[in-house]
Structure 1
Amino acid sequence: MTRIIAGVAGGRRLQTPTGDRTRPTSDRVREALFSAIEAWAGSLHDLRFLDLYAGSGAIGLEAWSRGAAGATLVEADRRTADLIRANARSIGCDAAEVVARAVASVLAEPARASYDVVFTDPPYPLTDEALAADLALLVANGWLADGALVVVERSRRGPEPTWPAGLEPLAGKRRQKKYGETTLWLAEAAVLSAADDH
């Protein structure tokens, strides 16, 4: 079991998948993640949130609880995706869209909407090359709003993600946060000027 930390559903319990199908983000790392997002955005109110490799859905549902206008959660394992739907119902979240497909196949399609914040927590065995391909598809297929924040959770022992053109790591100490065996890497999407748009 895990809990929503803050917001309208703060304290509510969420079910977590059994076995080794997922690697839940610890409460400490989740709190640090949302502190970093709120430091960047001011607040999550009215922002659209994309949670990739969503597991129990704790991150995307936490974003909704803290005011996100909507959350899309992508999880390839169908039983786990059903669990996310059950968790959303249990906390009264009707703004969550759960997509039960592989992340790479979802991102390979043109986005139906762009997102202000993207969190991706791929399995640690996912290769750096596959992660780089995911990030490139986020940029290429219109998943990112102008100036969107992208946060990647990886093993502390791994290298920094390969950021594609159109994603710039945040400056200085905001670029990465380390907690135990986990590192969060943060980057921002380019803002297109009116001239760039033509």
Structure 2
Amino acid sequence: MRVIAGKAKRLKLKTIEGSDTRPTTDRIKETLFNMINMQLADCDFLDLFSGSGAIGIEALSRGAKSAVFVENNRASVECIKDNLRITKLNENGVVLALDVLSAIRTLEIQGRVFDVIFMDPPYNCLLEKQVLEALQFSNIIYYNTIIIVEASIETEFDYLEHTKFKIYKEKKYKTNKHIFIELKE
């Protein structure tokens, strides 16, 4: 796994051994960042369920002003910190070793607001639903915040019609998909 573009282009990133993480492939990561490239310049990026930190690091490499990485697995937290040092992007990255819902509350207290939120929760556990339900009433998002969920191809998002969110774009791959969500008008 490597950084695809930007300041840290071609640098190899560490990953966690075992099946606890599912690193996003370079091809899917490149497709994702081609889709959001215009929103990255000077943005504040939130990477939930960060794993190795590859998505948030890619955002920093491509011009994001800051990235907050949220991960509660100790080995993954150390991997993110190592990857930030390897890429020399650690000045712009903050790692929160918390579960995602606790991290959202912490970020609310800190008064942080994010332009782009990416989450890659464990598949088919409905964690994205819990996070979206928390985010819809959170002050860490605003009208133009983009929320991207990486999910299994089978994951349904029909519950969003009962929230403040709507899907504005969906990109399907062989086994997973990216759902692009924003606040309803």
TM-score under structure 1 normalisation? 0.86
CA–CA separation in structure 1 for the residues paired with 2:158 and 2:178: 10
Q: How does 1:28-177 map to 2 (within 5 A)?
A: 28-38=27-37, 42-93=38-89, 94-109=91-106, 111=108, 112=110, 113-127=112-126, 130-160=127-157, 162-163=159-160, 165-170=163-168, 175-177=169-171
Pair 15,49 (structure 1): closer, same or farther in 2 beyond 3 Å: same
Q: Does the 8 A contact of 2:46 with 2:56 survive in 1?
A: yes
**Matched AA of 2:15:** T
Q: Which consecutive unaligned segments of at least 5 residues does structure 2 have? A: none
CA–CA separation in structure 2 for the residues paired with 1:96 and 1:162: 33
**1:14 aligned onto 2:10:** no
More moved, 110-119 vs 13-22 = 110-119
Secondary structure at the counterpart of residue 185 of structure 1: strand
Query: What is the CA-CA distance between 1:109 and the residue it aligns to?
Result: 4.5
- Identity percentage over the alignment? 35
Q: Does the 8 A contact of 1:73 with 1:98 survive in 2?
A: yes
The alignment's C-alpha RMSD in Å is 1.6
Q: Does the 8 A contact of 2:124 with 2:155 survive in 1?
A: no
Query: What is the CA-CA distance between 1:167 and the residue it aligns to?
Result: 1.9
CA–CA separation in structure 2 for the residues paired with 1:125 and 1:107: 21
Q: Deviations over 1:94-141 (max 9, x none)?
A: 2000011111222245622010000000001422xx322211212212
Query: What is the CA-CA distance between 1:43 and the residue it aligns to?
Result: 4.2
Q: Does the 8 A contact of 2:81 with 2:95 survive in 1?
A: yes
Query: What is the CA-CA distance between 1:36 and the residue it aligns to?
Result: 1.4
The list of structure 1 runs, each at least 4 consecutive aligned residues, that deviate by more than 4 angstroms after superposition, is none
**Matched AA of 1:145:** Y
Pair 96,140 (structure 1): closer, same or farther in 2 beyond 3 Å: same
Q: Which consecutive unaligned segments of at least 5 residues does structure 1 have? A: 192-198
Query: What is the CA-CA distance between 1:7 and the residue it aligns to?
Result: 0.5
